[in-house]
Each structure stands twice: as C-alpha cells, then as structure tokens.
Amino acid sequence: MNPVDSSSINSGSPPSAVEAIQPPKRCGLATASLVLGILGIFPCGVFGVIGLPLGITALVKIGRSNGRLKGNGLAIAGISCSTAALLALVVQMFLIGLLLPALGAARMAARQAKAFSQARQLAMAATLYANNHDDQYPSADDWVQALLDQGVIVEQTLVSPFAMEDGRTFAMNAKLGGIRVADIADPARTVLFFECAGNSPLAGGPELFPTRPRSQVGYAVVFANGDVTDTLPEEIDLLLWDP
C-alpha cells in the first residue's frame, strides 16, 4: 500500500502535474514573521504583536499549499521570536510599573533637596550681609536686591523648583528688616525667610505662606540662626515672628 500524502488530504485534491514539477516557493509571511519577531525584541516588543499572527498564518498556508510553499522553519522561528518579544514587552511593562513610583519619589526628593539648598544659600547670604553691615539684616523692603548685590545668590535662588512659573517664592519676615542679629531673643525659633505664595510681597508674616506646601515635607523655613527646616501647615503656629 502506498503511503498517503497528508498535504493532499488537507487540500482535498492531489497536486496537478504542473504543480508537481515546480519547485516550492518560500512563504513570504513566514519570512515576515521571523523578521518582525527579531525586530520586536528591540523596540519594546511592538513588532512581535504583528509577527506572531503572521507566523501562525504562514504555518496554516504552508500546510494547505500541497507542497507549493515552504518555510515551516522560518514560520516557527518567527513565532518563537515574536512570542519572546511579547514576553519581553510584558516584563518591561511590569518593570516600568515598579520603577515609575520610585522615579517619581526620586524626582520629588531631588526637588526638595534643591529647595533646601536654596534656603541655606539665603541664610548664608543674610549672615554675610549682617557681618558687613554692623550686624544688621537688610531692610524688608529691598532685601532681595541687597542680597543680590553681594554676589552670593542669584535670582534663581529665590525660585522654588516646585513652581518655576511663580517666580520668587521666598519672603522675608517683615519684623526682622533692619534688626540687629544680637537683638533677636530666640534666633533658633524666629523666622527669617520662608516659602511664600507666588506674587507675594517681599516681606510679611505667616499670611504669605502658600495655601498648601509645594513639597510633601512642608514649607522651607530659614531661621535667624541660619538653620533650615521643613514646617508642616499645623506647625506654623509654633514659629516665632517677633524678635
């Protein structure tokens, strides 16, 4: 008994004499599936979404072609590469989901560190000013220009990294303008500079605080002794403003 050709069974009819003598052609879908599968490994697995169904379609067409098409190996390789690319895409999306919160926290921490660095620069500039002006702080009406003239700070020092569009975001305690450092009874608790709302006056009191802190740790506050701390809204009442 002659063996049965499985490809003839799939098609329902044996190949004609012309078809039998023609060499089989390589299935283009199989090649495309392999190429897309390989490419899919690199651009985050995107091409694997296309390569996988193409490879499956190529296998089906080759099986029904009565030997007219070849490329089973290419199709299988394309399916394998596309599947690997899709798995890589899933893993990448999972890792991105894990890393995004961490990146957000790192960005927030970097901005907080910059805001506190700016506050410390203000504290240093005020101390240098007082040392050069008979131990007195600058006038509350023009403290910004007075500190800028010293060359210790630049205008960007006065801008919060959380609100670049607001311009100056630090104000001076108006009650310390022109005051001698030695006349401050409790410099460790007395506010010298503090974060203020955008477009606020140059100097004032707690009424100039933003409605909500720009950072998660609270408002940046500079004390008369040069210390910088973060102050939550509920802690504002504990600050001293009178020298």
pLDDT tens figures, 36-77: 555 555 555 555 566 666 667 766 676 676 666 666 666 677
CB 126 within 8 A of CB 138: yes
The pLDDT of residue 65 is 67
Q: Is the pLDDT of residue 93 over 70?
A: yes
Nearest one of 104, 15, 85 to 43, comparing CA atoms: 85
Q: pTM, whole model, 2 decimals? A: 0.60
What Å distances lie between residue 96 and 102, 105, 144, 170, CA to CA?
10, 14, 44, 36
Give mean pLDDT, residues 167-179: 93
β-strands 69-70, 25-26: how paired? parallel
Q: How confident is the model at residue 2 (pLDDT cuts 50, 70, 90)?
A: very low
Give mean pLDDT, residues 171-176: 95
Sheet with strand 203-204: strands edge to edge: 203-204, 170-173, 191-195, 219-223, 228-231
The pLDDT of residue 66 is 65
CB 205 within 8 A of CB 175: yes
- Rounded Cα distance between 205 and 188, Å, is 17
pLDDT tens figures, 119-136: 999 999 999 999 999 999
Q: Which stretch of 8-12, 159-163, 212-216 has the lowest confidence by average pLDDT? A: 8-12
Residue 36, phi then psi, degrees to nearest 5: -65, -35
The pLDDT of residue 30 is 53
- Rounded Cα distance between 15 and 34, Å, is 28
